[in-house]
Amino acid sequence: SVARTDREIQELKQKYESMPLENEIKKFVDMPLSQKTLKGLLDSKYVVPTEIQRKSILTALKGKDVMGTAITGSGKTLAFLIPVIEHLYLNKWSRTDGVCAIVISPTRELAYQIFETLKRIGRYHDFSAGLIIGGKNLKFERSRMDQCNILICTPGRLLQHMDENPLFNATTIEMLVLDEADRCLDMGFEESINAIVEHFPTDRQTLLFSATQTNSVKDIARLNLLDPIFIGEKSKS
Ligand code: ADP
Ligand code: MG
Protein backbone atom coordinates (compact mmCIF):
# COMPACT_ATOMS: atom_id res chain seq x y z
CA SER A 1 0.00 0.00 0.00
CA VAL A 2 0.99 3.64 -0.44
CA ALA A 3 1.10 4.29 3.30
CA ARG A 4 3.34 1.32 3.90
CA THR A 5 5.71 2.38 1.13
CA ASP A 6 5.87 5.92 2.53
CA ARG A 7 6.64 4.56 5.98
CA GLU A 8 9.39 2.30 4.65
CA ILE A 9 10.95 5.19 2.72
CA GLN A 10 10.94 7.37 5.83
CA GLU A 11 12.54 4.60 7.87
CA LEU A 12 15.24 3.99 5.26
CA LYS A 13 16.05 7.69 5.04
CA GLN A 14 16.42 7.79 8.82
CA LYS A 15 18.78 4.82 8.70
CA TYR A 16 20.92 6.65 6.12
CA GLU A 17 21.54 9.31 8.78
CA SER A 18 23.37 6.78 10.92
CA MET A 19 24.73 4.20 8.52
CA PRO A 20 25.94 0.93 10.01
CA LEU A 21 29.72 0.57 10.04
CA GLU A 22 31.24 -1.54 7.33
CA ASN A 23 32.29 -4.26 9.76
CA GLU A 24 28.73 -4.52 11.09
CA ILE A 25 27.56 -5.70 7.68
CA LYS A 26 27.60 -9.46 7.44
CA LYS A 27 24.69 -9.88 5.05
CA PHE A 28 22.66 -7.73 2.67
CA VAL A 29 19.86 -7.68 5.27
CA ASP A 30 22.20 -5.72 7.56
CA MET A 31 22.16 -2.87 5.03
CA PRO A 32 19.37 -0.27 4.94
CA LEU A 33 17.76 -1.68 1.78
CA SER A 34 14.10 -1.87 0.75
CA GLN A 35 12.22 -5.12 1.28
CA LYS A 36 11.68 -5.40 -2.49
CA THR A 37 15.41 -5.26 -3.16
CA LEU A 38 16.23 -7.69 -0.35
CA LYS A 39 13.68 -10.12 -1.74
CA GLY A 40 15.13 -9.81 -5.25
CA LEU A 41 18.63 -10.45 -3.93
CA LEU A 42 17.51 -13.46 -1.94
CA ASP A 43 15.74 -14.95 -4.98
CA SER A 44 19.10 -14.93 -6.74
CA LYS A 45 20.83 -16.38 -3.65
CA TYR A 46 22.78 -13.21 -3.04
CA VAL A 47 23.12 -13.26 0.75
CA VAL A 48 26.61 -12.13 1.72
CA PRO A 49 27.91 -8.97 0.00
CA THR A 50 31.41 -8.97 -1.44
CA GLU A 51 33.92 -6.45 -0.12
CA ILE A 52 33.44 -3.94 -2.95
CA GLN A 53 29.67 -4.23 -2.51
CA ARG A 54 29.82 -3.69 1.26
CA LYS A 55 31.88 -0.55 0.91
CA SER A 56 30.38 0.97 -2.25
CA ILE A 57 26.71 0.44 -1.47
CA LEU A 58 26.79 2.20 1.92
CA THR A 59 28.72 5.13 0.43
CA ALA A 60 26.57 5.40 -2.69
CA LEU A 61 23.30 5.26 -0.73
CA LYS A 62 24.41 8.45 1.01
CA GLY A 63 24.54 10.14 -2.39
CA LYS A 64 28.30 10.45 -2.65
CA ASP A 65 30.31 9.94 -5.82
CA VAL A 66 32.25 6.67 -5.75
CA MET A 67 35.35 5.51 -7.54
CA GLY A 68 35.52 1.77 -6.97
CA THR A 69 38.41 -0.45 -8.01
CA ALA A 70 38.23 -4.23 -7.69
CA ILE A 71 39.35 -7.18 -9.77
CA THR A 72 37.14 -8.87 -12.33
CA GLY A 73 34.67 -11.22 -10.68
CA SER A 74 34.50 -9.27 -7.42
CA GLY A 75 30.85 -8.28 -7.88
CA LYS A 76 31.00 -4.72 -9.14
CA THR A 77 27.64 -4.99 -10.94
CA LEU A 78 25.58 -5.22 -7.75
CA ALA A 79 27.80 -2.55 -6.17
CA PHE A 80 26.17 -0.01 -8.49
CA LEU A 81 22.82 -1.60 -9.39
CA ILE A 82 21.62 -1.75 -5.78
CA PRO A 83 22.20 1.99 -5.15
CA VAL A 84 20.51 2.82 -8.48
CA ILE A 85 17.42 0.77 -7.63
CA GLU A 86 17.22 2.20 -4.11
CA HIS A 87 17.55 5.75 -5.44
CA LEU A 88 14.57 5.24 -7.74
CA TYR A 89 12.52 3.69 -4.96
CA LEU A 90 13.30 6.25 -2.27
CA ASN A 91 12.66 9.12 -4.65
CA LYS A 92 9.41 7.54 -5.84
CA TRP A 93 10.25 7.51 -9.52
CA SER A 94 7.43 6.14 -11.64
CA ARG A 95 7.70 4.58 -15.08
CA THR A 96 6.55 7.75 -16.78
CA ASP A 97 8.99 10.14 -15.08
CA GLY A 98 11.71 9.76 -17.70
CA VAL A 99 15.33 8.71 -17.47
CA CYS A 100 16.78 8.73 -13.96
CA ALA A 101 19.93 6.62 -14.32
CA ILE A 102 22.34 5.81 -17.13
CA VAL A 103 24.78 2.91 -16.95
CA ILE A 104 27.61 2.97 -19.49
CA SER A 105 29.31 -0.31 -20.24
CA PRO A 106 32.06 -0.99 -22.81
CA THR A 107 30.51 -3.90 -24.72
CA ARG A 108 27.09 -5.13 -25.76
CA GLU A 109 27.66 -8.43 -23.96
CA LEU A 110 28.50 -6.74 -20.66
CA ALA A 111 25.58 -4.33 -21.04
CA TYR A 112 23.26 -7.25 -21.64
CA GLN A 113 24.54 -9.05 -18.53
CA ILE A 114 23.97 -5.92 -16.42
CA PHE A 115 20.44 -5.64 -17.83
CA GLU A 116 19.68 -9.26 -16.97
CA THR A 117 21.00 -8.83 -13.42
CA LEU A 118 18.95 -5.64 -13.04
CA LYS A 119 15.76 -7.40 -14.12
CA ARG A 120 16.43 -10.27 -11.72
CA ILE A 121 17.21 -8.34 -8.56
CA GLY A 122 14.75 -5.56 -9.40
CA ARG A 123 11.81 -7.81 -10.22
CA TYR A 124 9.67 -6.70 -7.26
CA HIS A 125 10.13 -3.00 -8.06
CA ASP A 126 8.25 -1.27 -10.85
CA PHE A 127 10.83 0.84 -12.61
CA SER A 128 11.26 0.59 -16.39
CA ALA A 129 14.62 -0.28 -17.94
CA GLY A 130 16.05 -0.47 -21.43
CA LEU A 131 19.13 -1.60 -23.31
CA ILE A 132 20.74 0.86 -25.73
CA ILE A 133 23.42 -1.23 -27.40
CA GLY A 134 22.84 -1.02 -31.12
CA GLY A 135 22.05 -3.70 -33.58
CA LYS A 136 19.16 -3.38 -35.94
CA ASN A 137 16.61 -1.68 -33.72
CA LEU A 138 17.61 2.01 -33.79
CA LYS A 139 14.01 3.17 -34.28
CA PHE A 140 12.75 0.92 -31.52
CA GLU A 141 15.44 2.10 -29.15
CA ARG A 142 14.65 5.70 -30.01
CA SER A 143 10.93 5.39 -29.44
CA ARG A 144 11.38 3.57 -26.15
CA MET A 145 14.35 5.20 -24.48
CA ASP A 146 12.49 8.23 -23.10
CA GLN A 147 10.16 5.86 -21.28
CA CYS A 148 12.90 4.06 -19.40
CA ASN A 149 13.95 5.02 -15.87
CA ILE A 150 17.23 3.11 -16.24
CA LEU A 151 19.18 2.84 -19.49
CA ILE A 152 22.06 0.39 -19.89
CA CYS A 153 24.15 1.64 -22.81
CA THR A 154 27.30 1.24 -24.83
CA PRO A 155 29.05 4.61 -25.30
CA GLY A 156 28.91 4.85 -29.10
CA ARG A 157 25.25 3.97 -29.33
CA LEU A 158 24.19 6.34 -26.56
CA LEU A 159 26.11 9.21 -28.14
CA GLN A 160 24.48 8.47 -31.49
CA HIS A 161 21.03 8.76 -29.90
CA MET A 162 21.97 11.95 -28.08
CA ASP A 163 23.24 13.50 -31.32
CA GLU A 164 20.39 12.36 -33.56
CA ASN A 165 17.40 12.46 -31.27
CA PRO A 166 16.52 16.01 -30.21
CA LEU A 167 13.68 14.69 -28.08
CA PHE A 168 15.97 12.74 -25.79
CA ASN A 169 15.80 14.55 -22.47
CA ALA A 170 18.95 14.28 -20.36
CA THR A 171 17.89 16.89 -17.81
CA THR A 172 16.08 14.33 -15.65
CA ILE A 173 19.21 12.22 -15.11
CA GLU A 174 20.21 11.91 -11.47
CA MET A 175 22.70 9.04 -11.57
CA LEU A 176 25.48 8.04 -13.92
CA VAL A 177 27.42 4.79 -13.72
CA LEU A 178 30.64 4.32 -15.67
CA ASP A 179 31.27 0.58 -15.51
CA GLU A 180 34.52 -1.15 -16.48
CA ALA A 181 36.05 2.28 -17.04
CA ASP A 182 39.50 0.91 -17.78
CA ARG A 183 38.10 -1.23 -20.57
CA CYS A 184 36.07 1.68 -21.96
CA LEU A 185 39.28 3.67 -22.22
CA ASP A 186 41.22 0.75 -23.72
CA MET A 187 38.55 0.55 -26.39
CA GLY A 188 38.96 4.22 -27.26
CA PHE A 189 35.73 5.56 -25.73
CA GLU A 190 37.27 8.43 -23.75
CA GLU A 191 36.03 11.18 -26.08
CA SER A 192 32.59 9.62 -26.44
CA ILE A 193 32.20 9.40 -22.67
CA ASN A 194 33.26 12.99 -22.13
CA ALA A 195 30.87 14.12 -24.88
CA ILE A 196 28.01 12.14 -23.33
CA VAL A 197 28.61 13.42 -19.82
CA GLU A 198 28.58 17.02 -21.08
CA HIS A 199 24.83 16.63 -21.67
CA PHE A 200 24.12 15.50 -18.10
CA PRO A 201 23.14 17.68 -15.16
CA THR A 202 26.16 18.55 -13.02
CA ASP A 203 24.33 17.81 -9.77
CA ARG A 204 23.96 14.12 -10.63
CA GLN A 205 25.62 11.36 -8.61
CA THR A 206 28.37 9.48 -10.45
CA LEU A 207 29.64 5.98 -9.69
CA LEU A 208 32.76 4.80 -11.53
CA PHE A 209 33.96 1.21 -11.41
CA SER A 210 37.11 -0.28 -12.83
CA ALA A 211 39.23 -3.41 -12.48
CA THR A 212 42.42 -1.38 -12.55
CA GLN A 213 43.32 2.17 -11.63
CA THR A 214 45.41 3.50 -14.48
CA ASN A 215 46.29 7.14 -15.00
CA SER A 216 43.67 7.49 -17.72
CA VAL A 217 41.01 6.08 -15.38
CA LYS A 218 42.07 8.67 -12.80
CA ASP A 219 41.81 11.35 -15.49
CA ILE A 220 38.28 10.40 -16.44
CA ALA A 221 37.38 10.28 -12.75
CA ARG A 222 38.87 13.73 -12.15
CA LEU A 223 36.82 15.08 -15.03
CA ASN A 224 33.49 13.46 -14.23
CA LEU A 225 33.31 12.79 -10.49
CA LEU A 226 32.74 15.32 -7.74
CA ASP A 227 34.75 14.87 -4.55
CA PRO A 228 34.65 11.06 -4.88
CA ILE A 229 35.17 8.48 -2.18
CA PHE A 230 37.89 6.05 -3.32
CA ILE A 231 37.13 2.42 -2.62
CA GLY A 232 39.38 -0.56 -3.20
CA GLU A 233 42.60 1.26 -3.96
CA LYS A 234 44.12 4.42 -2.57
CA SER A 235 44.72 7.09 -5.14
CA LYS A 236 48.46 7.63 -5.44
CA SER A 237 48.60 11.01 -7.09
P1 ADP B 1 32.77 -7.80 -11.80
O2 ADP B 1 31.91 -6.79 -12.52
O3 ADP B 1 33.47 -7.22 -10.62
O4 ADP B 1 33.71 -8.51 -12.72
P5 ADP B 1 30.27 -9.25 -11.51
O6 ADP B 1 29.41 -8.19 -10.98
O7 ADP B 1 30.12 -9.57 -12.95
O8 ADP B 1 31.81 -8.93 -11.19
O9 ADP B 1 30.04 -10.56 -10.61
C10 ADP B 1 30.80 -11.72 -10.82
C11 ADP B 1 30.01 -12.96 -10.41
O12 ADP B 1 29.81 -12.97 -9.01
C13 ADP B 1 28.63 -13.02 -11.03
O14 ADP B 1 28.37 -14.33 -11.45
C15 ADP B 1 27.70 -12.65 -9.90
O16 ADP B 1 26.43 -13.26 -10.03
C17 ADP B 1 28.45 -13.16 -8.69
N18 ADP B 1 28.16 -12.40 -7.46
C19 ADP B 1 28.20 -11.05 -7.34
N20 ADP B 1 27.91 -10.67 -6.09
C21 ADP B 1 27.69 -11.79 -5.37
C22 ADP B 1 27.34 -12.05 -4.00
N23 ADP B 1 27.21 -11.06 -3.11
N24 ADP B 1 27.19 -13.34 -3.63
C25 ADP B 1 27.35 -14.33 -4.52
N26 ADP B 1 27.68 -14.17 -5.82
C27 ADP B 1 27.86 -12.91 -6.25
MG1 MG C 1 31.75 -5.93 -14.34
* Residue 137 Cα to ligand 1 middle (Å): 29
> Letter for the amino acid at 212?
T
Closest ligand (CA of 77): 1
Answer yes or no: is pLDDT of 208 > 70: yes
Q: Buried b / exposed e across 192-213, counting CB within 10 Å, b at 16+?
A: bbeebbebbeeebbbbbbbbeb
User: d(Cα 52, Cα 186) in Å, to the nearest integer?
Assistant: 23
- The predicted model gives 226-231 an average pLDDT of 96
Answer yes or no: is pLDDT of 235 > 60: no
Which atom number of ligand 1 is nearest to the Cα of residue 180? 2
For residue 228, the model assigns a pLDDT of 96
- Assess whether the C-beta atom of 77 lies below 6 angstroms from ligand 1: yes
Answer yes or no: is pLDDT of 210 > 70: yes
- Assess whether the C-beta atom of 75 lies below 6 angstroms from ligand 1: yes
Q: Strands (DSSP E) along the chain, which ranges?
A: 66-69, 101-104, 129-132, 150-153, 175-178, 205-210, 229-231
- Assess whether the C-beta atom of 120 lies below 6 angstroms from ligand 1: no
Which atom number of ligand 1 is nearest to the Cα of residue 50? 23
Closest ligand (CA of 116): 1
- The predicted model gives 202-220 an average pLDDT of 96
* Residue 107 Cα to ligand 2 middle (Å): 11
Q: Is 66 helix (H, G, I), strand (E, B) or coil?
A: strand
- The predicted model gives 170-194 an average pLDDT of 96
- The predicted model gives 221-231 an average pLDDT of 95
- The predicted model gives 134-144 an average pLDDT of 80
Which atom number of ligand 1 is nearest to the Cα of residue 179? 2
For residue 237, the model assigns a pLDDT of 45
pTM value surpassing 0.80: yes
CA distances from 219 to 93, 147, 190, 216 (A): 32, 33, 10, 5
For the chain, the structural domain boundaries read: 2-231
Which atom number of ligand 1 is nearest to the Cα of residue 49? 23
ipTM of model: 0.99
Percent of the chain topping pLDDT 90: 87
CATH architecture of residue range(s) 2-231: 3-Layer(aba) Sandwich (3.40)
CA-only gyration radius of the chain, Å? 17
99 pLDDT tier (thresholds 50, 70, 90) = very high
